[in-house]
Structure 1
Amino acid sequence: MLIQALTANAVDVGAIGDAPLVFAQGGGSPIKAIAGIQTDGTTTAVVVAKASSIQSVSDLKGKRIATLRSQTGHYLTLAALHAAGLKYDDVEFVFIPPAAAKLALQTGAVDAWATWGPYISSAKIVDGAREIVNGGKLMSGLSYVVATDNALRDKRENILTYLRSYRVAHQWMLKHPDSYATVWAEEVGLPLPVARDVIKGMVGEVVPLTDAVIAKQQLVSDFMSETRLVPRSLNAHAIIDSSFTF
């Protein structure tokens, strides 16, 4: 996974979600967030099989939910349970990777799947799964460009050049979503309708890490410590380098 690659200095820069950033901080990964990517949060969701009797978050009580531990789907599920007045142990989490989760949902081995991006879009468009909740009102919608401490020390000008190019490319994507979807689908092997659906949720801009952005991340961090996704309270400022302007 990307966090492990960053921690091992196998890569210098990458992009991760708000919950994985907290997980990385809690694990002592030597990385810093250097820019934010603000979306509407809807690309993270919980889906169920088309024929499932589950219609709402309340119906998840006593059910098995596939997701990745301490990732955005896990975070969303806990936030959704809290909002619905359910306890976190009212459901059984099954921590398995996306390929296994997809099969488990199709075979009925799990009742729901909490995941993100192309996995959600593919489940709905290709497999006919139904979405029962997404992160639009329950998550920050933030992802982050992150860099290793070593790269920030030794390759700062290169990273700044990358950030500026990344922002321009992101703006182009927002203005030309169909063209981007066509190229992206070919590059990663996605059906074109799936790629288009994912991009619909990628609205927003690449933004500097202002106090307002850091405050949003602190709320994510606080919730994750309260739900014991991380073992202690964390200060979001400690994993953020807000010195980059672009």
Structure 2
Amino acid sequence: MNIPRGTARFSLSSISSHPRHAKRLQAGLSALLIAATATLALLAPGVARAAPPAELKLDYAYYSPESLVIKRNGWLEQELAPQHTEVKWVLSLGSNRALEYLNSGAIDIGSTAGLAAVLAKANGNPIRAVYVFSRPEWTALVVRKDSPIKTLADLKGKKIAATKGTDPFLFTLRALHTAGISRDDVEIVNLQHPDGRTALANGQVDAWAGLDPHMAAAQIDDGAKLLYRNVDFNTWGLLDAREDFIRDHPETLAQVLKVYEKARLWIAAHPDETAKIISEESKLSLPVARLQLSRNDFSHPQPGTQQLAALKAAAPILTQEQLVKPGTDLNQIIDALIDAKTAQPVIAANSGQ
């Protein structure tokens, strides 16, 4: 090819021989590579995604109405059928069991109380709270209908049934502190929630840190009395997921949250049907289920500032009772626990935002 005289000649070698030109070329090639990579990602969006899990393991609990509704209606199985993910349901009788299952990998997603989750995470449980299934008043201190105990101060020297590592246990410690009573001033008998109710009815303990629906059953069927109530000492009902599951299966987690949102909205529209499901699953009477349901607020599914504030206000009891290692920064633990981002798109979609 003939090039007219006076026309500049350009070649890669001539450009690269000049430092300024070389930098421009390098920058241009880098930009081109980034654009090409992004284009390939758009053209083949599935390349970077992990395969759906062959099995999803999660809990259901009598204190989590959404989990009972979802399980009964088979909604999660329907949602995950196209990707051939099998759903395995595991019963959690309390936060302590759910947290044990999460820590061991027996489940990927579990239902717990907020402060119990803080305690577990502070002790190394690899979880994050991705959803709020309820703002409950699910625990109180309960005594028999003929009990001479009238105030918290009367509990000094008495036996109290409570499930260690759960909201009722931590509720009990906080309640006692308000009356100037320490854990050493009482005898806490570690029993699972239904066994605590039985021990109270049989006179084996003087009081019980109740949990619904068993607490509602004790009131209605046994005539038990609520000695001390404090809704602010009931920490939020959280749906916790293992950090490795959040990282490896974000699409499946989003599907789970979508189904939880479906159940939350369904419960608001169908309280009678929800109470019936709770009654049948927990094998307790319909009046008991209705009382339990009436003590739940399902209007705040998004984890965020409310949960952070409530848990940071509650956390000092963990240090005071030496339930965490000295020097543990509980505020940092709580900040790491509450995941305000994962559920946001799902909740926004359901609210029409």
Q: What TM-score do you get using the length of structure 1 for normalisation?
A: 0.91
- Give the Cα separation in 2 of the matches to 1:48 and 1:55: 9
Secondary structure of 2:319's match?
helix
| Contact 1:38–1:204 (8 Å) recurs in 2 | yes
- Give the Cα separation in 1 of the matches to 2:340 and 2:280: 35
Compared CA separation, residues 138 and 213, structure 1 to 2 (3 A): closer
- Give the Cα separation in 1 of the matches to 2:320 and 2:133: 25
Matched, 1:74 2:74: no
Aligned to 1:91: 186
| Contact 2:162–2:209 (8 Å) recurs in 1 | yes
Compared CA separation, residues 137 and 8, structure 1 to 2 (3 A): closer
Counterpart among 183, 196, 217 of residue 101 in structure 1: 196
User: Identity over the aligned pairs, expressed in percent?
Assistant: 32
- Give the Cα separation in 1 of the matches to 2:234 and 2:194: 24
> What one-letter code is carried by the residue in structure 2 that aligns with 1:199?
L
Deviation digits for residues 48-89 of structure 1, max 9, x if unmatched? 111110112121111110001121111111111122233332
- Give the Cα separation in 2 of the matches to 1:206 and 1:166: 13
* 5+ residue gaps, structure 1: none
Higher mean C-alpha displacement, 81-90 vs 6-15 = 81-90
Give the 5 Å matches for 1:120-199: 120-140=215-235, 142-199=236-293
- Give the Cα separation in 2 of the matches to 1:138 and 1:32: 21
Compared CA separation, residues 210 and 103, structure 1 to 2 (3 A): closer
Matched, 1:224 2:224: no
Aligned-pair distance for 1:139? 3.4
Deviation digits for residues 144-200 of structure 1, max 9, x if unmatched? 111111210121111112212212311221232111111221233221111111100
| Contact 1:62–1:91 (8 Å) recurs in 2 | yes
Aligned-pair distance for 1:38? 4.5
Q: What TM-score do you get using the length of structure 2 for normalisation?
A: 0.65
Aligned to 1:29: 125
Counterpart among 91, 110, 113 of residue 14 in structure 1: 110
Aligned-pair distance for 1:206? 4.2
Secondary structure of 1:144's match?
strand
- Give the Cα separation in 1 of the matches to 2:119 and 2:163: 12
| Contact 2:173–2:317 (8 Å) recurs in 1 | no
Higher mean C-alpha displacement, 119-128 vs 80-89 = 80-89
* 5+ residue gaps, structure 2: 1-96, 348-353
Compared CA separation, residues 2 and 181, structure 1 to 2 (3 A): same
Compared CA separation, residues 127 and 204, structure 1 to 2 (3 A): same
- Give the Cα separation in 2 of the matches to 1:221 and 1:105: 28
Q: How many residues in Structure 1 have an aligned counterpart in Structure 2?
A: 244
Matched, 1:51 2:146: yes
Aligned to 1:61: 156
> What one-letter code is carried by the residue in structure 2 that aligns with 1:147?
A
| Contact 1:171–1:205 (8 Å) recurs in 2 | no
| Contact 1:67–1:115 (8 Å) recurs in 2 | yes
| Contact 1:49–1:130 (8 Å) recurs in 2 | yes
Aligned-pair distance for 1:132? 0.6
> What one-letter code is carried by the residue in structure 1 that aligns with 2:196?
A
The structure having more radius of gyration, on CA atoms, is 2
